[in-house]
Structure 1
Amino acid sequence: MSRHPIPPGRPRATTRARAGAALVAAIVGLALAGCTPAPASEPDPSATPTRSGSSTGGPTSTATPEPTLVPDGTAADNLPLFAAITASVWASEDRNGGRAYIDALVVAGFDKAAMQVTRDRSTVGNQAESIQFSVKWGEECLIGQVGPATGDPVTVVVPVLVEGTCLVGETRPIDW
């Protein structure tokens, strides 16, 4: 392989550098291509829109139906309902009380005996910076976290801990 002299002050462009630049350009091009709007598609004539108006007619809606409990489903199947309940309580005046989350989950059909909740007050009586609550679902856990330190509510599905519980540490008795 012969080497050509490079003028002083000009960096050498290696084959590897040129290939890397081409790869970056290709990735950027693909990413930008994904930003273009897709062409409008024809509506599916077999689709039946849900009606949000009266029985005499009214606007149709393609809104997502309210999440519901899926008793035979997985924890992931029930995460939408768990998240909706968490968001609903977080938006209420009871947002800082762990009991409010447990009570709302019970009303929705989750098993109270499978739940855990952390304390919503510190040992000196201050409001907790964060509250966690959970529902054990088979070998998985639906976990929610809310509080001033959390920001927006967080809901996730994680495996059950080795101890067979969902939350680490001492939790509040659910004795109501």
Structure 2
Amino acid sequence: MSRAPHQTKTKPTAKGGSAGYLALAAAAVALALSACMAPAQQPPAATPATQGSASSSATAPATGTPAPSQTGLDPATAQLKATLESTLVSLAAANPKPGQDQLRTALLAAGIPAGTLEVSVSRTPTGLDVDAIEAATPSGRNCVVGQVRDGAVAVTVLPVLASGKCFVGDSR
């Protein structure tokens, strides 16, 4: 009688087994986060204040007013978004990394009410400059949020938080 060669089952190594679990966990987290994200919104058409500006957000063909089917924004929110964007573009052109006070002053001068304006910090708790600074203000059930990162401006509209604010935490 001949004997079959002895076969042993091997357990996956910690390195190989963990990599599979990590990949599966990463995929699950990515899927969960994508479900939490708001659908991408088209920015409003270019206005005279923003035409030819160095804005990182794409603009629709110049029609003077945003098309409701593109943005779905009420007129007050659309106007606030245009004001925030034009102010941030002008500010970023003068200073690609504006500070908190400089950003607040520019937005207040543009007519955004002080009582609703929220501006993120411009320095970390360890004293370093932040990578980007953001400002936001509510408009009805929405928040118009703008960001300046190395001179590039991005403006979007997101739902207002349950607290009635745009940012989590104390940013006023």
Coarse TM-score class (shorter-chain normalised) = 0.5 to 0.7
Q: Distance in 1 between matches of 2:109 and 2:81?
A: 16
- Tell me the equivalent position of 1:106: 108
Name the Cα RMSD after superposition: 2.4
Look at both structures and tell me which one has the larger radius of gyration over its CA atoms.
1
Moved >4 Å (runs of 4+) = none
- Tell me the equivalent position of 2:117: 115
- Tell me the equivalent position of 1:153: 153
- For this pair of structures, how many residues does the alignment match? 104
TM-score for both structures, normalised by structure 2: 0.53
Q: Where in structure 2 are there 5+ consecutive unaligned residues?
A: 1-45, 51-73
CA displacement at 1:65 relative to structure 2: 3.7
CA displacement at 1:94 relative to structure 2: 7.0
Question: Is the contact made by 2:134 and 2:148 (CA closer than 8 Å) also made in structure 1?
Answer: yes
Distance 1:146 1:170, change over 3 A: same
The amino acid across from 1:161 in the alignment is: L
Question: Is the contact made by 1:130 and 1:147 (CA closer than 8 Å) also made in structure 2?
Answer: yes
| Alignment of structure 1 residues 3-152 onto 2, 5 Å | 65-66=48-49, 73-93=75-95, 95-148=97-150, 152=152
Q: Which digits, 9 at most, give the CA deviation of each residue in 1:105-163, with x for residues without a partner?
A: 11111101111111100111110112111112222111111224xx6211111121112
Q: Distance in 1 between matches of 2:49 and 2:120?
A: 28
Q: Distance in 1 between matches of 2:92 and 2:126?
A: 24
The amino acid across from 1:139 in the alignment is: R
- Tell me the equivalent position of 1:45: none
Q: Where in structure 1 are there 5+ consecutive unaligned residues?
A: 1-62
- Which of the two has greater helix per residue? 2
Q: Distance in 2 between matches of 1:134 and 1:85?
A: 13
TM-score for both structures, normalised by structure 1: 0.52
Identity %: 29
